[in-house]
Structure 1
Amino acid sequence: MTLLFGACTGTYQVREESRLNPNTAQAVFAQKDRWVDRTLSGMTLSEKVGQMIVASIEGQYRGNNDKEFLKISRLTEEGKIGGIMFLKGDVMGAGMLANHFQSVSKVPLLVSADMEKGVAMRLEGATEFAPAMAVAATGDSTLAQAMSAVIAREARAVGISQDYAPSADLNINPANPVINTRSFGDRIPLVIDMSSAVIDGLQSNGVAATVKHFPGHGDVTVDSHKALPILEGDRQRLDQYELKPFRAAIDRGVMSVMVGHLAVPKLTGSLEPASLSKTIVTDLLRKELGFTGVIVTDAMNMKALYNGSNLAEISVKAVQAGNDILLFPPDPELMHDAVVTAVEQGTISESRIDDSVRRILKLKRWLGLDRNKLSDLTRLQEKVRQPESLQLADKITRNSVTIIRDRNHLVPLRLPLNGQVLNIVLQDRQREENSRPFAEMLGRNHTVLQFRLTPSSNEQTIQEVANLAAGASAVIITTEVQATNNSILSKLSDRQIDFVHTLPSRLPLGTPVILISFGPPYLLDEFTEIGTAICAYSSSQQAEEAVVQVLNGEIPPAGILPVTLRASQP
């Protein structure tokens, strides 16, 4: 490879209107462009279909004999892919790969990644931000816009020009196993404002935003990576809830929309995934909502769609439905050949392919890739993970810590001299080996003993922990349990659940008990016996540090709950 250096109380703060022209996407995709027309007219059918396929690769250094590197290089040179997406790696490795693949591509590649939490979500060495729900909990969409501006600048430094974000899904179902804290919440005005802020921050800094997962993935009970979710709402319901953030994003000028792999039977009359449905992609999104930009599928390797042997079939259906980009196929060449064959056999018209390629080329032109497709990696360290970016990330995390309830006014934590805190870590089935620095951080100001309860903990262990709790000056239960199988608590054992429910009654009267979620807030609604509950939305070290600062009274608990809970009274 050649290295080319080329509902708590509070108010939401609404941004002043962005300078970004809300008609940007409409204008970009409506205008004629000589470079686009010239490039399109010079393409073979094979090259046109290739523009519609985005393959995945890990963004790390690969030698010239690496199998995956050679495959993607060949597909790029042959024009069988039009873009790449990075799954993981590091900023320098990804930048080197992006420059290499761009250098061997006849037409500029669209380099992309899912960067909901920043470039660091995929590539080491960049700035890591809090998840969307934490950003929303700050109540300040100017922070969301500033965050996405940093993400865009770091992305372009690496050579990435499309972000598969923001998620405009309303997380209506607390047991949603796939969206949850990736959503800005369940309040329509808040989700619209935060999504608009992210769109503005990305696109005003040269990165195409991709609003997802159309027509709305927030009220499902199944993870589309594992099976097909079903959105049960009818058209009236979708107009009232799910579609509103997408309409707003389109009006805002978002460049791209990702269609989810979920069934909407009351709209389509079947269990066909939305991503394969012409009713959803073309009739609803393209025609009725008037979206003129680039439509991209969710990853084509997800089990909601792909069963291991149907890639050719779903590839053709995705194009017939009206998608422009087919994302992350398990076999890009098989997908390419299937679509080419469908055109040659008359199943898909070549004009249909031309329509998609024209939109893709217009997006690449807007991104400036026709003029400069290489990144100057000699200046990478000047552009990523800068002190001001890290400070912004810390500010968002600190401002997101939310007191869900504090009936006995335990925050900030006040302990007697020589008092001891028992930190009970409630671990789920998938994270039994997880360790966190929370107790160490809290131990700077208090004496802390940490004990872990896992689903395999027996009754003797439970009783031992209960005895320790009875002798403690305060008990803090921490967890990061995620929803699964349409249940918030399914990853916990019955013993764990019963222990938390009964703990306050086992302790001496007046013993402070605090429950903290370093994940979704919904679990806090299941244990209302505990009068003080805090949510940090994330298990990052920054989130744990921020919670410790709140407990110590060093910073105020400024977060505003962005979802509806039953027991959310302070």
Structure 2
Amino acid sequence: MHNEPTFEQSIGQHLVTGLQGVSLDGQFIDLVRNHKIGNVILFSRNIVDKHQLKALCAEIHDLIVQETGFPPLITIDEEGGMVSRLGPDATHLPGAMAIGATADQGNAYTIGRISATELRALGIQCNLAPSLDVNSNRLNPVIGVRAYSDNPETVASFGTAMVRGLTDGNILSVVKHFPGHGDTDVDSHTGLPVIEKSKEELLACELVPFKAAIEAGVPAIMTSHILFPGIEGEPVPATMSRTIVTDLLRGEMAFDGLVFSDCLEMSAIKDHYGTSRAAVEAIRAGVDLVFVSHTYNLVAEAASAIAESIRNGYIDSDEHAVSVERITKAKIRFDAHSEESLDMVGSEEHRTIAKAIMARSVCIGNMPTESLPDLGDQPLFLGCRPFHTTLASNGESETPPFPDWMASQLGGKALVTPDDPTNEEIIALMEETRGATCIVIGTYNGHIRQGQLALANAMAGTGLPTIVCALRNPYDLVYLAENIYSFAVFEYSTLAFEAIRCILTQERTATGVLPVHW
């Protein structure tokens, strides 16, 4: 049995904080003790290996139970693909668009179950995934391959399948970013996006996957930091909008689960409203849990501001009590403190399944002839290193550069190129084609940094067989010359590189179906 939380403990239930290192530091411990913070988000910065991570989660669990009387929600962004925090000990899982490209919703369920098994074993019970955004804007800098498709029904079917997989594995799945982040060309980590759509337009597209998830029993939804002037007359983003959170999500859409905010330290919030004010307004709007993920003093300020707003009646005390009860019930249901073995974390069984699903995701963009050209004995591999398209992506990548990895497997020459080469750099790179038998280029959101596409098209002009592999958003393929052989593989990882290798050596053919349209 759990006792009723004290007033201070009830405030802390609303807050999710990060920690700075790979162990509990004094400031974090003081923060939890002084403000009864009830929940944590983990990032790559907190993880060394699976043994350290499991021990860290156990320490977090014990500290928060001691101080708040309830287990914590230990959360993580483990979407798979380009948003993965767990590191090489865990199974690297394909991301949403790669799964969507397999055209098999069963793969989404399977990925959800694998993710759940590994997270539970580590002591994590809340996955901030999947994204239910409909990526209808190809210039979207933050979603892209994190979405299953640009078709709302496809997103709905694949997203709900992954939610079922996570839930069946006893993981609290938090779908995002309500009411939709797919039709923006601004990243809310760095700016304040606006979506100028009416409610009717949102109901026909962005809200379709969320409606399906609610009907399927999704336990939690995360809000976005986006202005929707078509449904909210005040200049506040969805996270701070009672019209959107309470009237639309809880009222019209009948959602009775947990509502999380996205991080209140993102520029869309911090620069325009301030973190502590936003925390108060989010709770007042109907959000249950707010993320203040990086800065301890901002967490403390948010806790104090929420407490004062409840005391003075700005936040309704009855609504606060209902929200806290909703949070604590979910914590008891999904409590992950266990002695489960780590054997399945990064197991051969899981890695084999992930590899097979990734292999089925590769899509043909263009085939000028009936079959791929032979690489010959001197293939030339080119491509840039991955760069931060969004702060949501992984940190400093441990993945080797695409050209280096491919040359190590297939021989030939490797050249790591700039991520947006100039005309002068392209001319210099053209000199490197002498003696090459085939050119293979990996692009990484070249539709945004178009020097990559200029390089690919210039290489195709040499007369040498040229193959392009889109290693993130598939929209790169739109801008390529007609004589280029092209594929989409949706992520920059050795898992994806291996799938490409099998295509280039004609060990298998590309069977994926592009889940976006142009």
Instruction: Give the alignment's TM-score, normalised by structure 1.
Output: 0.82
Q: How does 1:455-494 map to 2 (within 5 A)?
A: 461-469=425-433, 471-481=435-445, 488-489=447-448, 491-493=449-451
Q: Who is 1:74 aligned against?
A: 30
User: Residues 57-456 of structure 1 correspond to what in structure 2 (within 5 A)?
Assistant: 57=19, 60-62=22-24, 69-78=25-34, 80-88=36-44, 89=47, 90-104=49-63, 105=65, 106-117=69-80, 121-124=84-87, 125-307=89-271, 310-329=274-293, 330=295, 331-367=298-334, 369=335, 374-376=337-339, 379-380=341-342, 382-411=343-372, 413-414=373-374, 419-426=377-384, 436-441=401-406, 444-445=409-410, 447-454=411-418
**How far off is 1:310 after superposition?**
2.1
CA 1:442 to 1:351, structure 2 compared with 1: closer, same or farther past 3 Å? same
Deviation at 1:121, TM superposition (A): 1.9
* Gapped regions of structure 1 (runs ≥ 5): 1-34, 63-68, 483-487, 566-570
CA distance in 1: counterparts of 2:81 and 2:115, whole angstroms:
5
Q: CA contact under 8 A between 1:58 and 1:87: conserved in structure 2?
A: no
1:561 correspondence with 2:514: yes
Q: How does 1:500-511 map to 2 (within 5 A)?
A: 500-504=456-460, 506-508=461-463, 511=464
Deviation at 1:437, TM superposition (A): 4.8
Equivalent residues of 2:467, 2:485 under 8 A apart: yes
**Match for residue 502 of structure 2?**
549
Deviation at 1:78, TM superposition (A): 4.7
- Deviation at residue 515 of structure 1 after TM alignment: 1.4
Kindly state the Cα deviation for residue 410 of structure 1 after the two structures are TM-superposed. Answer: 4.0
Deviation, structure 1 residue 468: 4.1
Shift of 1:308: 8.8
Q: Distance in 1 between matches of 2:368 and 2:235?
A: 46
Normalising by structure 2, we get a TM-score of 0.90
Q: What's the secondary structure of 1:304's corresponding residue? A: helix
Counterpart Cα distance in 1 of 2:26 and 2:375:
62
Q: Secondary structure at the match of 1:225?
A: coil
Change (3 A) 1:270 1:350: closer
From 3, 6, 11, the counterpart of 1:49 = 11
- 1:24 is aligned to none
Q: Cα distance, 1:56 vs. partner?
A: 1.0
The 1:374–1:461 alpha-carbon spacing in structure 2 relative to 1, beyond 3 Å, is: closer
Distance 1:390 1:336 in 2: 42
Code of the aligned partner of 2:119? A
CA distance in 1, matches of 2:439, 2:381: 6
Q: Take 1:321 and 1:430, find their aligned partners in 2: how far apart are those partners?
A: 32
Task: Note the alpha carbon deviations across 1:305-333, whole angstroms, 9 max, x for none.
Answer: 01298222111111111000011353221
- Within 1, Cα distance between the matches of 2:355 and 2:23? 30
Q: Deviations over 1:5-53 (max 9, x none)?
A: xxxxxxxxxxxxxxxxxxxxxxxxxxxxxx5xx63xx322211111111
Partners of 1:119 and 1:126 within 8 A in 2: no
Q: Is the 8 A contact 2:261 2:291 kept in 1?
A: yes
Q: 1:456 to 1:403 in 2, by over 3 A?
A: closer
Amino acid aligned to 2:484: G
Structure 1 residues 457 and 319: alpha-carbon distance in aligned structure 2, compared to 1, 3 A threshold: closer
1:568 aligned residue: none
Q: Is the 8 A contact 1:119 1:154 kept in 2?
A: no
Q: Distance in 1 between matches of 2:177 and 2:421?
A: 39
How many angstroms apart in 2 are the aligned matches of 1:230 and 1:46? 36
Q: Percent identity?
A: 29
Q: Secondary structure at the residue paired with 2:121?
A: helix
Larger radius of gyration: 1
Change (3 A) 1:458 1:404: closer
With 42-51 and 420-429 compared, the bigger mean Cα shift is at 420-429
Q: Deviations 1:314-355 (Å, cap 9, x if unpaired)?
A: 111111110000113532211111110111112112112101
Note the C-alpha offset of 1:290. Answer: 0.1
Separation of aligned partners in 2, 1:139 and 1:181:
15
Aligned match for 1:523, one of 476, 487, 494 = 476
Shift, 1:440, TM fit: 4.7
Alpha-carbon distance in 2 for matches of 1:70, 1:118: 34
Distance change (3 Å), C-alpha of 1:408 and 1:84: same
Corresponding residue number in structure 2 for 1:25: none
How many Å separate the matches in 2 of 1:318 and 1:283?
14
Q: Is the 8 A contact 1:85 1:111 kept in 2?
A: yes
CA spacing shift, 1:113–1:426, aligned 2, 3 Å = closer
CA change 1:468–1:332 in 2 (3 A) is closer
- Give yes or no for contact 2:456–2:480 (8 Å, CA) kept in 1: yes
Contact 1:134 1:397 in 2 (8 A): yes
Q: What amino acid maps onto 1:401 in structure 2?
A: V
Number of residue equivalences: 500
Alignment check: 8 A CA contact 1:425 1:479 kept = yes
- Does structure 2 conserve the Cα–Cα contact (< 8 Å) formed by 1:52 and 1:82? yes
CA–CA distance in structure 2, aligned partners of residues 110 and 309 of structure 1: 26
Q: Which has the higher contact order (CA 8 A, sep 6+)?
A: 1
Q: Any residues of structure 2 matched to 1:7-18 within 5 Å, and which?
A: none
Cα deviation, 1:89-144, whole Å, max 9, x if unaligned, reads 13322322221232232221111111111899222321111211111111112121
User: What amino acid does structure 2 have at the position aligned with 1:420?
Assistant: Q
Question: Could you tell me how far apart the structure 1 residues matched to 2:419 and 2:129 are?
Answer: 35
Give, in whole Å, the separation in 1 of the partners of 2:5 and 2:415. Answer: 64
The residue identity in structure 2 corresponding to 1:96 is A
**3-state secondary structure, aligned to 2:19:** strand
Q: CA deviation at 1:147?
A: 1.2
Q: Distance in 1 between matches of 2:501 and 2:179?
A: 39
Determine which of 470, 479, 487 is the counterpart of 1:534: 487
How far apart, CA to CA, are the structure 2 residues paired with 1:306 and 1:415?
51
Q: What 5-or-longer segments of structure 2 have no aligned partner? A: 390-395
* Amino acid paired to 1:436: P
SS at match of 2:360: helix
Q: Superposition RMSD on alpha carbons, in Å?
A: 2.6
